[in-house]
Amino acid sequence: MMRKVSLLVLGAFLGAGTITLATQTRLLSQDSAHAAASHTYRYLNLFGDVFEKIRTDYVDKPNEKKLIEAAINGMVSSLDPHSNYMDAKSFRDMQIQTRGEFGGLGIEVTQEKGLIKVVTPIDDTPAARAGILTGDLISKINGDPVQGLTLNQAVDKMRGPVGTDVDLTILRGPGKQEKQIKLTRAVIQIKSVRYHVDGGDIGYIRISQFNEQTFDGVKAAIESFKKQIPAKKFKGYVLDLRNNPGGLLDQSIAVSNVFIDHGEIVSTRGRSADETQRYNAQPGNDISGGKPLIVLINGGSASASEIVAGALQDHKRATLVGTRSFGKGSVQTIIPLGQGNGALRLTTARYYTPSGRSIQAEGIKPDVKVLEDIPAALKGKVSSEGEASLKGHLLNGKHDKKGSDAYVPPDPKKDKQLIAAFEILRGTYKPQASPKASKSSKATDTTTASKSATPNSQKSVTPAPKPAAPASPAKGSAPSPDKGASPHP
């Protein structure tokens, strides 16, 4: 009896979904729609048969709730690397993360080939202080293998009471060199924006991720700079988005609007044409005073970071310095599933920069490429393979590109990308010598930097597609699990 009820409920739900799809696309004939529905019901019967066999014949009595959740997880995770099902606890944890405070170690993680992969350590957390690097693979937690665990289960094992220790077994580099690291759990307060004045004439802003506090933090930074730096002495801003895995869509739009006051910032396009949304800068929100702007990106810059970098680059408002970004060009929407049932994080759209380009699996190429000097012990161990390396990633024609280095020297005096940014603003920059680079390519880099970093750079704007009426960010739009909303242990 239970099996029949389950099938009726599932059949009604999926049948309704099929009708909705046919209505939206208006491409299927009535006959083909009925045929598709017939196939769907047949597969639902298969699911019901398997579920019932496990329920009645498995050697031990299974937990039926966990069986259903595992089936949902398998279905959703087969779509792409960024869609997943969150149970009630995981949903609560995600809400805490986007508010900017939670307990744990301070790392963004994803899952790759059964292991837990570090997307990026969060600034000023136990993970960052212990030397955990982008690209590290976590194979064991407190001596227990992570193989067989879901991503959320692994994250739960890394969380715990503040002040307690957790032992991680890390595999690093192409040779998978094993390393043991002990960390002490702490309350992770993500101050997503840090800033200071450099040399009395440049305002430096570091955004570690885009959470609910980010826009307010950037606004406070700019207001602080205006008070500290005389207008005639003010050379410009450095916006550091390196190793920023992304975050909330509305925050990336608001931060972009701080530096541009008109035109499109980003558009999102779903399955059908009527799902296209354009997000435009609101006049009066640009508080940057037109000062030159340098944006730092690298292989760890993704999602919301790429939205900001792409908008500022297309509007010729900023010079991008560093290495190719991660290439996550999709938008995930958080869909609550009712009280106690958790939520679905579902890829619902691709996003496009103002010029109409998709950076999915391609990334954003900097105007001025600057490579860091990676210590010998870390060579081959700190590169981000990018979106194109993720199994099941959304394709972008033949443009899929691998990622780039994601290393940022802990000592600012050795940080070539940061030094280049300061020198460009001060007019003393000399392009890096490259054995493979021709003289003409060097000249192009210098010209790009010179043109984009002028006080009037905002006036030279690449025409954007004709904007629709300003749309407010969809409530619940959120970053992705791999580069934007990865679980935070």
Q: Which of the residues are catalytic?
A: 303, 314, 328
Of 92, 457, 460, the residue nearest 288 (C-alpha): 457
Distance between CA atoms of 44 and 456, rounded to whole angstroms?
61
Report whether 383 contacts 299 (CB < 8 A): yes
Report whether 241 contacts 301 (CB < 8 A): yes
Q: H-helix or E-strand containing 295?
A: strand 293-297
Q: Report the largest interatomic distance among the alpha carbons of the chain, rounded to a whole angstrom.
A: 80
Of 258, 206, 197, the residue nearest 229 (C-alpha): 197
State the sign of the Cα–Cα–Cα–Cα dihedral 81, 349, 246, 188: negative
C-alpha distances in Å from residue 394, one per residue of 82, 302, 473: 10, 15, 23
Q: What does 303-362 look like in DSSP terms, one character per residue?
A: THHHHHHHHHHHTT--EEEES------EEEEEEE-STTS-EEEEEEEEEE-TTS-B-TTT
Of 318, 327, 393, the residue nearest 365 (C-alpha): 327
Distance between CA atoms of 260 and 263, rounded to whole angstroms?
8
First CA to last CA across the chain, in angstroms?
42
Report whether 404 contacts 327 (CB < 8 A): no
Backbone angles phi, psi at 344, to 5 degrees: -110, 125
Q: Looking at residue 112, what DSSP letter applies?
A: E
Residues sharing a CB contact under 8 Å with residue 63, sequence separation 6 or more, in sequence order: none
Q: H-helix or E-strand containing 207?
A: strand 202-207
Of 239, 241, 228, the residue nearest 201 (C-alpha): 228
